[in-house]
Amino acid sequence: MIISRIFSQIIVGILGIYLAVLFVPGVNISTGEFTREGIKILIIIGTVFGLINFFIKPIINFITLPLRIVTLGLFGLVVNIAMIWIVDKIFIELTVSNFSALFWTSIIVWVLSCMIPTNKYRRSRKLL
């Protein structure tokens, strides 16, 4: 169950970065997104982003819980932006040029994480 959640976070990370490179102006991969090297870098960046979202983001969410309650969950967007900014600083191949690019990338990742099931609250079904 934990492995499937990690895998779904990695898929969300790869797809989120890929869609951001395609549709958000200001988000680029320096090697080009459709070259062999670009695809390899995209998979590595998305994997690291998914792992950061799986391991570090819950800790940050717990620490910022009072702010999330006061802002009715809107501070979660700031946490998502911070996670993308961390990945941008780790990889020199990924360029996120301004705050609006960070904002729209975090929106894309948020929508994808809502669409892709994580099996977090999976119910066991018994066959009759």
Q: For the segment 50-67, what is each residue's pLDDT rounded down to a tens digit?
A: 999 999 999 999 999 999
∠ CA 89-101-16, nearest 5°, is 80
pLDDT of residue 30: 87
Residue 70 lies in a domain: yes
pLDDT of residue 45: 95
Residue 121 lies in a domain: no
Residue 124 lies in a domain: no
pLDDT of residue 4: 86
pLDDT of residue 32: 73
**What's the pLDDT tens digit per position in 90-102?**
999 999 999 999 9
Listed in sequence order, the DSSP H helices in 1-128 are 2-23, 36-55, 57-63, 65-70, 75-90, 99-115
Domain count, the chain: 1
pLDDT of residue 126: 53
| Domain extent for 44 | 2-115
